[in-house]
């Protein structure tokens, strides 16, 4: 019995020691809390503060931490969800699938030159009567457009009557061929055979249906075979002439399907095809003309109308693509902001390929299923000072204590903008400023403090100004400002 109690006591002591070691290993000493890089006002995320408190607008400041999961990755930072929400960040997935280059071009409608005909006479004569008297009139192939008096044509008819009365079929046949060579219509030849009487006026017919585009004669005019009396265009099919950039030529092939939209007919689409690629490049615009063929059975497409032409090239399979707006272009290269979740964002260099509408091909740098920032990426880029490669960003504890800012201390930067709000009591203003490349800032509306030496009474809302922006460790303020012509 004593042995059992001793054994139990020893077992309890051992279990206590083991439990203590286990708890100590798993709990240990609490790790020190990681320090924020800086604090921001969610309403003014581009202004950084060195410590907690209230912003100049009286708002509570939010800490911004370096990435906790990948502290050694210089390309990754962490931003509070509140700040992300206020930046209006939108996330889009990297998709994989068929990717066809979509080419858009502005073109104009032109007549199909294969369907233009002219009316001439084959003998001298005089225009006696016209049934078409205005350019733009619509004519049919079996419609008489004018009547001509010509002694030569009258004589040809009389020769036939003599040959027919001679009883020699060969002479009659030769007379008929002469009238056909002079383009006396089959209808009038048949009438001549029936009536046995020569017609003094010869009917002139068009060669096709269409619209009169040129009318060069009037009643009473003398005409010769050289006279182009009338031009007729068949608009049942038309051409569209568009210009594409030289780097798009390889994506355009004869026979490919094209779509066209005309602003005059919203919601309506025409389908045609590439008919011809012109062989010469315009040296001024560096564009190449392409001719598209479209049917126009209703005749509502008119020459010289403008059209938006869309062309889809043969799709490439298994191609990665992202929204074009997600791409950040710079002289050092292309990059995107990748969302890693939990408020973590990573700048990543990418190699891009062809563009298609609102999307762009990704050759390298991303994988299918990853997510990229397609709205607000420029503000995140400015917020974290992400440059290509991010050589200057280090998320170690030492630089967290140093409070690295996106603006170099005491750096003088020039900008231009328009005054939207003047706050004279606070000696501050709100500007819509143009892009500031030195800070990697896009066009933004921002509040600025103003140096006391500047008299804000000399300015008013709506003034165009040029200013010098001076950056301190926690703020930006205007030190000089002058008006520009509006």
pLDDT at 44 over 80: no
Q: Which pLDDT belongs to residue 46?
A: 62
- pLDDT surpassing 70 at residue 225: yes
Domain edge (last residue) among 314, 339, 371: 314
Taking only the tens place, the pLDDT of each residue in 178-202 is 999 999 999 999 999 999 999 999 9
Tell me what the mean pLDDT of segment 437-464 comes to: 84
Q: How many domains does the chain have?
A: 5
Residue 453 within a domain: yes
Taking all residues of the chain, what is their mean pLDDT, rounded to a whole number?
Answer: 80
Q: What is the pLDDT of residues 122-170, one digit of tens each?
A: 999 999 999 999 999 999 998 999 999 999 999 999 999 999 888 889 9
Provide the domain limits for residue 310. Answer: 103-112+235-314
Co-location of 155 and 218 in the same domain: yes
Task: Give yes or no: residues 129 and 224 share one domain.
Answer: yes
Burial of 72 from C-beta contacts in 10 A (0-12 / 13-18 / 19+): exposed
Same domain, 182 and 162: yes
Q: Is residue 44 part of a domain?
A: no
Q: Are residues 392 and 426 in the same domain?
A: no
Which strands sit side by side in the sheet containing 95-99, from one edge to the other? 95-99, 316-323, 359-364, 351-356
Supply the pTM of this predicted model: 0.52
Least confident interval from 99-108, 194-203, 473-482: 473-482
Looking at the structure, do residues 140 and 174 belong to the same domain, yes or no? yes
Long-range CB contacts (within 8 A, 24+) of 182-188: 182/122, 182/123, 182/152, 182/153, 182/156, 183/121, 183/122, 184/153, 184/156, 184/157
CA dist 407 → 86, 195, 212, 245 (Å): 21, 102, 70, 40
Residues 267 and 251 in one domain: yes
**pLDDT for the residue numbered 119:** 95
Give yes or no: residues 169 and 88 share one domain: no
Query: Looking at the domain assignment, is residue 171 inside a domain?
Result: yes
Do residues 137 and 197 share a domain?
A: yes
CATH number at residue 371: 2.40.420.20
Is the model's pLDDT at 472 over the cut of 60?
no
Q: Which of 24-33, 214-223, 461-470 has the highest mean pLDDT?
A: 214-223
Same domain, 131 and 213: yes
pLDDT tens digits for 377-436?
A: 666 665 544 433 334 433 333 344 433 334 334 456 888 899 988 888 888 888 888 888
Do the domain assignments include residue 194? Answer: yes
pLDDT of residue 200: 94
Q: What is the pLDDT of residue 75?
A: 64
Q: Reply yes or no on whether the pLDDT at 224 is more than 90.
A: yes
pLDDT band at 33 (very low <50, low <70, confident <90, very high): low
Write the CATH number for 456. 2.40.50.320
Q: At 71, is the pLDDT very low, low, confident or very high (cuts 50, 70, 90)? A: very low
Same domain, 153 and 299: no
pLDDT for 391 equals 41
Do 164 and 299 reside in the same domain of the chain? no
Residue 107 in domain: yes
Domain harbouring 266, CATH code? 2.40.30.170
pLDDT 10s digits, 288-323 = 999 999 999 888 999 999 999 998 777 788 899 999
- Residue 98, pLDDT > 70, answer yes
Q: How far apart are CA 243 and CA 46, in angstroms?
A: 43
In a domain, 17, yes or no: yes
| End-of-domain residue from the set 252, 286, 314 | 314
pLDDT for the residue numbered 389:
38
Q: Which of the listed residues 204, 228, 252 is the one where a domain comes to its end?
A: 228
Q: Is residue 382 part of a domain?
A: yes
Give the model confidence (pLDDT) of 200-211 as tens digits.
Answer: 999 999 999 999
| pLDDT confidence of residue 400 | 40
Q: Are residues 211 and 144 in the same domain?
A: yes
What whole-number percentage of the chain has pLDDT above 90? 41
Structural domain contains residue 321: no
Q: Is the pLDDT of residue 32 over 80?
A: no
């Amino acid at each position: 019995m004593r042995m059992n109690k001793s054994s139990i006591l020893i077992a309890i002591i051992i279990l206590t020691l083991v439990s203590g070691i286990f708890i100590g290993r798993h709990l240990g000493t609490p790790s020190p809390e990681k320090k924020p890089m800086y604090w921001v006002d969610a309403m003014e995320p581009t202004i950084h503060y060195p410590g907690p408190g209230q912003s100049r607008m009286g708002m509570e400041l939010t800490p911004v931490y370096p990435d906790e999961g990948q502290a050694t990755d210089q390309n990754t930072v962490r931003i509070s969800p509140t700040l992300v929400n206020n930046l209006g960040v939108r996330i889009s997935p990297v998709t994989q699938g068929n990717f066809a280059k979509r080419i858009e071009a502005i073109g104009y409608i032109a007549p199909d030159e294969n369907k233009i005909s002219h009316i001439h006479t084959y003998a001298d004569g005089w225009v006696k009567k016209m049934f078409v008297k205005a350019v733009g009139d619509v004519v049919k192939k079996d419609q008489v457009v004018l009547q001509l008096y010509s002694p030569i044509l009258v004589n040809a008819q009389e020769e036939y009557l003599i040959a027919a009365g001679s009883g020699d079929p060969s002479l009659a046949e030769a007379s008929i061929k002469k009238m056909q060579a002079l383009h006396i219509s089959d209808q009038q030849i048949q009438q001549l055979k029936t009536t046995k009487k020569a017609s003094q006026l010869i009917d002139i017919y068009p060669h096709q249906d269409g619209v009169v585009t040129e009318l060069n004669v009037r009643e009473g005019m003398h005409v010769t075979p050289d006279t182009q009396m009338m031009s007729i265009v068949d608009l049942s099919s038309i051409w569209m002439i568009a210009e594409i950039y030289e780097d798009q030529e390889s994506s355009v092939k004869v026979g490919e399907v094209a779509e066209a939209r005309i602003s005059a007919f919203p919601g309506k689409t025409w389908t045609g095809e590439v008919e011809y690629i012109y062989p010469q490049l315009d040296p001024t615009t560096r564009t190449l003309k392409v001719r598209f063929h479209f049917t126009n059975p209703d005749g509502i497409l008119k020459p010289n109308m403008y059209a938006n032409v869309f062309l889809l090239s043969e799709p490439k399979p298994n191609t990665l693509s992202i929204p074009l707006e997600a791409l950040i272009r710079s002289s050092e290269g292309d990059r995107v902001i990748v969302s890693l979740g939990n408020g973590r964002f990573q700048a990543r260099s990418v190699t891009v390929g062809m563009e298609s509408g609102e999307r762009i091909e990704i050759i390298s740098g991303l994988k299918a299923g990853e997510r990229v920032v397609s709205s607000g990426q420029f503000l995140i880029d400015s917020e974290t000072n992400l440059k290509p490669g991010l050589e200057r960003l280090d998320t170690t504890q030492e630089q967290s204590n140093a409070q690295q800012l996106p603006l170099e201390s005491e750096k003088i930067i020039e900008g231009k903008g328009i005054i939207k709000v003047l706050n004279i009591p606070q000696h501050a203003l709100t500007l819509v400023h143009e892009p500031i490349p030195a800070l990697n800032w896009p066009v933004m509306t921002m509040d600025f403090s103003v140096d006391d030496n500047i008299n804000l009474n000399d300015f008013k809302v709506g003034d165009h100004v040029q200013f010098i922006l001076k950056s301190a460790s926690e703020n930006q303020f205007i030190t000089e400002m002058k008006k520009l012509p509006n």
